[in-house]
Amino acid sequence: MQYTLVQLRQTQISDLEILFQFQLDPEGKQLAAFTSAENADKAVYIQKHTKFLDAPTNNTQTILLGDTIAGSIAKFEMEGHAEITYWIDRKLWGKGIATTALHQFITIEKARPLFGRVAFDNIGSQKVLENCGFIRTGKDKGFANARQAEIEEFIYRLV
């Protein structure tokens, strides 16, 4: 489902305050699993993500639903690979916003292959990636800070 009111725009420093609040949600952190321990400290979060906005290998977009910030989506480089990450305000889950935003994002972000990683039990995010043409190509294990345990993650790829 394409959500017609969804738009992307370059993330601004002023967006980070709202995006910080979204990533504090306990259920969201549980599903995302691979979160940063220091993301609970607002000053550290704002400083870190402000640097990301200026990184030449990053493409950081704010997801808008009408005039309201609904989440974020970004491409970043990790170990020489282009990776995707996104976060939607939990109040807006299940409405097709992430899928619509990712469809839009992959038309403006040309890096390929583009990889996505998702916790084994995050079915919603797996569906978002698959609905946007990502193919599951493997799995890995890693320490999930939000769960304080090593868990399996699925690796997706868009060519």
Domains of the chain: 6-158 (3.40.630.30)
Task: Give this prediction's pTM.
Answer: 0.94
Chain segment 29-45, per-residue pLDDT in tens: 999 999 988 888 999 99
Sort residue 128 into left (φ over 0), alpha (ψ -120 to 50) or beta.
alpha
Residues in the chain with pLDDT < 70?
1-4
In angstroms, what is the C-alpha Rg of the chain? 15
pLDDT of residue 3: 55
Burial of 123 by CB count in 10 Å (0-12 exposed, 13-18 middle, 19+ buried)?
exposed
Phi and psi at 104, nearest 5°, equal -65, -40
Q: At what angle do helices 97-108 and 123-131 cross, to 10 degrees?
A: 40
